[in-house]
Amino acid sequence: MISYIEMLSFIVIVCTRPNDTDMRDAIRQTWANPHFSKAVHIFAAYRWIVANYPGKFVLKVDSDVVLHLDKVIPLLKQPHERYMLCHIHKKVQPIRDVDSLCPSRSTVQKFSRYIPESSYHERYLPDYCNGPTYLISPAALAALIEVAWRHKIFEVEDAFFTGVLARSANVQLVKEPGFWNRPVSRRITGLYFSSSLSSTRRN
């Protein structure tokens, strides 16, 4: 008899935000954490997956993303290769001055993009995956965890995991056209985007 674990193709991690709790069940409000800990939470989740399900792909997804799961399945290939599928950011400078960010942003939002020189001193960030959605191969995730101890974590989790750690672990970033980096109206369902894998969902 095949267990549900053996049938599992990949694991999805959905990252939520404290100010989204009014859109979810009341019980989930107890999970919201206003402190700067998203990167630490994701790291804990990745370590747990490597320890318990080392052969599974991981699809990291933010809570405001529209996703076609049926289009993800064909991408689950070459689990022993170190790679990530995503929309790739290139030549991005780390934000050192939070006051330079949009005044309408809250303090928490501003510091969520802040990268102190004590954590990362280079002028440009390594190429990294767009944070709302990316797919990690099993070999890549294991490699990230293996090198994580060499680096000081910072709160811009996409740049840290898919940029700094990926470069250190020789993980290849592969551009996947289906991962969009553009907003989508809430009035339009995910079924509309027949050629895409995901897109950020906004009002």
Cα distances (Å, whole numbers) of residue 186 to 65, 121, 123: 10, 39, 37
If residue 201 lies in a helix (H) or strand (E), which one and from where to where?
strand 198-202
Is there a contact between 151 and 185 (Cβ–Cβ < 8 Å)? no
Output the pTM of the full model.
0.75
pLDDT tens for 119-154 read: 999 999 999 999 889 999 999 999 999 999 999 999
23's tokens:
């859109």
pLDDT tens for 29-77 read: 555 555 457 899 999 999 999 999 999 999 998 887 878 888 888 889 9
117's tokens:
């020189």
SS3 assignment, position 57: strand
Q: Which amino acid is located at 175 in the chain?
A: K
Q: Point out which residues pair with 62 in neighbouring strands.
A: 15
